Amino acid sequence: MIRRSKGAIKGIVQGVGFRPFIYQLAHRYQLSGHVVNTPEGVDLEVEGPDENVEHFFQSVLSESPPLAHISSMERADLRPRNDKFFEIQESRADQERSALISPDVSICSDCLRELRDSKDRRFRYPFINCTNCGPRYTIIMDIPYDRAMTTMKKFKMCKACQREYEDPTNRRFHAQPNACWDCGPRLSLHDHDGHPIDRDTPVEKTIHLLKRGSILAIKGLGGFHLAVDATNHKAVVRLRRRKHREEKPLAIMVRDLEAAKEIAHINEIEATSLLSPQRPILILKKRRFHRLSPQVAPRNQIATLGSCFPTRPSTIC
Ligand SMILES: [Zn+2]
Ligand SMILES: [Zn+2]
């Protein structure tokens, strides 16, 4: 028997690869219909053999993408309409706004691999992202979560990015901040008056300035990080003086888990937590010998350090 059902799904279902997920499920179960972002979440309709529709809805709940969180799903049956295809429709923005927005998510392992691959077209591209990672909350100006409603709207995707964006089998299908060296935002380095210093090699120049003991403001997800070389005692003292921050512990940025282990003891649970998509700052037991300035966490009686996560700033507390 042919059946048509609609589902209204609420929760964190925008900006987390939910529509591509639904699209792929509909194909797996050979269903027609559509899915659309709404100001409240995601609405979908599917049509096909009774049993397939049932399996589809079970899979929606049991296989949803890692960053999605379904808080409710209402289902109802409709009269079959004999659609030929399954499609992702344009978002609707005509109702009350109550969809939940995903937080920003740390870089995923697939993107990290591309970032480090000299043959990849996004080799060392600092704004690399995909459906499973990247900025969300920071770039959203309004919902539904579509590129036109984000700060990325002024960057028109190049042909290669557009192809990924439109390909349901690509992991960047409908990834709203999708970008590359050819079409996306670039890094630049400015002096304290806002004048550009370096547009060609800003990362190298920043490293050079940090090594010299300068204080840098690095604009990233959620705001600015004030950064100094944590092993440079004078630089840390100067940062504290300028911030009028006498003893509150400072966060530490490290390259990876191995680098974090050189300054703190890290057990398995802590390691798993540090590497989770949220990349939290942890308070860890510091090693007796490390190269950091004591001013990173002064007058700390219980010998702990806030910690460090790969590819994102972190802390010593
Ligand atoms: Zn990714
Ligand atoms: Zn591009």
* Ligand that comes closest to the CA of residue 155: 2
Residue 91's pLDDT is what?
74
Where is mean pLDDT largest: 10-19, 20-29, 101-110, 277-286? 20-29
User: Residue 95: its pLDDT value, please?
Assistant: 55
- Give distance in angstroms: CA of 174 to centre of ligand 2: 14
Task: Identify the pLDDT of residue 306.
Answer: 59
Average predicted confidence (pLDDT) for the chain: 88
In the reported structure, the alpha carbon of residue 162 is separated from the centroid of ligand 2 by a whole-number distance in angstroms of 7
What ligand has the least distance to the C-alpha of 181? Answer: 2
Check residues 198 and 104 and name the one with the higher pLDDT: 104
- pTM exceeds 0.85, yes or no: no
Question: Is residue 303 within 8 Å of 314, Cβ to Cβ?
Answer: no
Q: Encode pLDDT of 271-315 as tens digits.
A: 999 988 888 888 888 888 888 998 988 877 656 665 545 444 443
Alpha-carbon distance of 40 to 101, in angstroms, equals 10
For residues 214 and 182, give the distance between their C-alpha atoms in angstroms, rounded to a whole number.
31
* pLDDT at residue 298, rounded to an integer: 84
Task: State the distance from the centre of ligand 1 to the C-alpha of 131, rounded, in angstroms.
Answer: 6
* 57, 75 Cβ separation under 8 angstroms: yes
% of the chain beyond a pLDDT of 90: 54
Ligand positioned closest to the Cα atom of 178:
2
Q: What percent of the chain has pLDDT over 70?
A: 92
Mean pLDDT, to the nearest integer, of 62-76?
Answer: 91
Q: Over the stretch 207-263, which tens digit does the pLDDT of each residue have?
A: 999 999 999 999 887 788 899 999 999 999 999 999 998 888 898 988 889 999 999
Residue 225, judged by CB atoms within 10 A of its CB (0-12, 13-18, 19+), counts as middle
pLDDT at site 136:
87
Q: Quick count: other Cβ atoms within 10 Å of Cβ 183?
A: 15
pLDDT at 313: 41
Arithmetic mean of pLDDT, 161-181: 91
Q: Which of 96-100, 162-166, 256-260, 305-309 has the lowest mean pLDDT?
A: 305-309
Q: Hey, what long-range contacts does 255-260 have (CB within 8 A, 24 or more apart)?
A: 255/310, 255/311, 256/310, 256/311, 257/310, 259/308, 260/284, 260/307, 260/308, 260/309, 260/310, 260/314
What does the pLDDT read at residue 101?
75
Is the pLDDT score of 316 beyond 50? Answer: no
Q: What is the 3-state secondary structure (H, E, C) of the chain?
A: CEEEEEEEEEEECCCCCHHHHHHHHHHHCCCEEEEEEECCEEEEEEEEEHHHHHHHHHHHHHCCCCCCEEEEEEEEEECCCCCCCEEECCCCCCCCCCCCCCCCECCCHHHHHHHCCCCCCCCCCCCCCECCEECCCCCECCCCCCHHHEHHHHCCCCHHHHHHHHCCCCCCCCCCCCCCCCCCCCCCEECCCCCEEECCCHHHHHHHHHHCCCCEEEEECCEEEEECCCCCHHHHHHHHHHHCCCCCCCCCCECCHHHHHCCEECCHHHHHHHCCCCCCCCEEEECCCCCCCHHHCCCCCCCEEECCECCECCCCC
Instruction: Report how far ligand 1's centroid is from the alpha carbon of 175 (Å).
Output: 10
**Distance, CA 96 to ligand 1 centroid (Å)?**
31
Q: Which residues, listed in sequence order, are joined to residue 3 by a DSSP beta bridge?
A: 48
| Nearest-ligand number for the alpha carbon of 16 | 1
Q: 301: number of CA atoms within 13 Å, CB side?
A: 0
